[in-house]
C-alpha cells in the first residue's frame, strides 16, 4: 500500500491529487458563512444570538463567557479569521470607529501600532470626511496617522 501527504490528496486530479476536500478548510468556510449571516441577517436564530452575546456591539467586538453555549464558542473561535477578511464600506462613516475598526485598506486593527491619542476628539470615520465636498480631510488625516497609512 502506498501513502502520500494529505496536502497532495487535497489537490485537484489534474494536479496529481485525489480531489479530497480539506475538511478543516471546508468547515471554516461553512462556519464563516454562518457568522456572516449572524452579522448581516435577521434570522430568528441570529436575533437570539445577537441579543444574548453582543446586544450592544457587533460580532468582532463580542466576548465569550465561560457559560456561553457550545455553538457560540465555535462561532467565537472564528473571530480572528473573520477580522482578517472583513472590510468596511465607508459610506457616511458614522458607524465606523477610527481606532478599533479595520477600515484602512491593507491595514489590520490587530496590528494597529497607535491607540487613540488622549488629545484627539476624532472617533468616527465621519469626523475626517468633508460631507459637503465629499472628500477626505487630508490635513487631519496627516496630523494623526503616519504618511504610509495616511496615503492609503
Q: What is the DSSP string of the chain?
A: -----HHHHTS-GGGTS-----HHHHHHHHHHHHHHHHHH---HHHHHHHHHH-TTS-GGG----TTS-HHHHHHHHTHHHHHHH-----TT-TT-BTTTS--STT--GGG------TT----BGGGGEETTTTEE-HHHHHHHS-HHHHT-
How many domains would you assign to the chain? 2
* Pair (75, 96) in one structural domain: no
Quick check: 43 and 37 in contact, CB under 8 A? yes
Q: Kindly indicate the confidence band of residue 136, based on its pLDDT and cuts at 50, 70 and 90.
A: very high
* Pair (81, 115) in one structural domain: no
* Pair (11, 76) in one structural domain: yes
Strand partners, 136: 129
pLDDT at 97 over 60: yes
Quote the pLDDT of residue 114: 63
Last residue of a domain, one of 65, 85, 105: 85
Sign of the C-alpha dihedral computed for residues 14, 17, 18 and 20 taken in this order: negative
Q: Kindly indicate the confidence band of residue 130, based on its pLDDT and cuts at 50, 70 and 90.
A: very high
Q: Quick: pLDDT tens for 15-62.
A: 877 777 778 888 999 999 999 898 888 899 999 999 999 998 888 888
Quote the pLDDT of residue 111: 53
- Give the residue numbers spanning the domain of 133: 88-152
Tell me what the mean pLDDT of segment 133-145 comes to.
89
Percent of the chain with pLDDT over 70: 92
By mean pLDDT, which of 10-19, 27-36, 58-67, 89-98 is the weakest?
10-19
Residue 1 placed within a domain: no
Pick the more confident residue, 89 or 73.
73
* Pair (14, 61) in one structural domain: yes
* Pair (96, 151) in one structural domain: yes
Pick the more confident residue, 99 or 129.
129
Amino acid at each position: 500500500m502506498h501513502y502520500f501527504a494529505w496536502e497532495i490528496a487535497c489537490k485537484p486530479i489534474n494536479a496529481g491529487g485525489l480531489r479530497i476536500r480539506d475538511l478543516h478548510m471546508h468547515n471554516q468556510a461553512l462556519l464563516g458563512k454562518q457568522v456572516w449571516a449572524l452579522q448581516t441577517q435577521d434570522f430568528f436564530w441570529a436575533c437570539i444570538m445577537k441579543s444574548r452575546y453582543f446586544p450592544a456591539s457587533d460580532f468582532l467586538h463580542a466576548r465569550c463567557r465561560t457559560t456561553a453555549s457550545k455553538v457560540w464558542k465555535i462561532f467565537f473561535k472564528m473571530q480572528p479569521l473573520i477580522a482578517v477578511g472583513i472590510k468596511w464600506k465607508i459610506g457616511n462613516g458614522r458607524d465606523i470607529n477610527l481606532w478599533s475598526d479595520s477600515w484602512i485598506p491593507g491595514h489590520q486593527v490587530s496590528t494597529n501600532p497607535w491607540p487613540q491619542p488622549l488629545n484627539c476628539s476624532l472617533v468616527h470615520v465621519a469626523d475626517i470626511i468633508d460631507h459637503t465636498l465629499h472628500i477626505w480631510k487630508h490635513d487631519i488625516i496627516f496630523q494623526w496617522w503616519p504618511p504610509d497609512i495616511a496615503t492609503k
